Amino acid sequence: MDDNDFGSDPYEFTNVIGDGDQPLYPGCRKYTKLSALVKLYNLKAKHGMSDVCFTELLILQGNLLPEGNPMPASMKEYEDSTNCPTCGISRWKEGKDSILKEGVPAKVVWYFPPIPRFKRMFRSHETAKSLTWHAARKSIDGQMSHPADSPSWKLLDDKWPEFGNEP
């Protein structure tokens, strides 16, 4: 697949972004589908939940939420698939002899927990000051001198205040 090929549907990326604005259930204003999934994944990683435990949690929350919620009922829908459901490429790594090595994944996502990194970075007052200067020194002259001055950054600050500039 070419690096510039984002699928056959030109609106696919827009549809994925739209999931970030989809309420968790009709009338819900606190969580979106995306924010709920991120919080659930954080719990899974933080507490070392097994895949079986996490799937049971998804089933439970699916039963607790009102009808019509967009949350998945399981994370094992494609467990036995050998090819990607979107692009059809094999999930297994191909050896030098062009033979698929079943059981060796072609792509692996490495997870590096960000919280310990943030704690180390913000341990020093000087480093913390350097990392947060954009929050304290927003442009007042109306000129954009840093991405923090952009409307997009402001939208993020307004939408997710827990990641914003609160003391």
d(CA 73, CA 40): 13
d(CA 58, CA 71): 8
At 35 the pLDDT is: 85
At 61 the pLDDT is: 85
Please give the DSSP secondary-structure letter assigned to residue 132: S
Residue 45 CB neighbours (<10 A): 13
Residue indicated by tokens 């089933």? 59
Helix axes 51-64, 33-47, angle to 10 degrees: 140
d(CA 104, CA 108): 10
CB 58 within 8 A of CB 71: yes
At 166 the pLDDT is: 46
Residue indicated by tokens 């949690």? 57
User: Which parts of the chain sit beneath pLDDT 50?
Assistant: 1-6, 164-167
Residue indicated by tokens 């947060």? 132
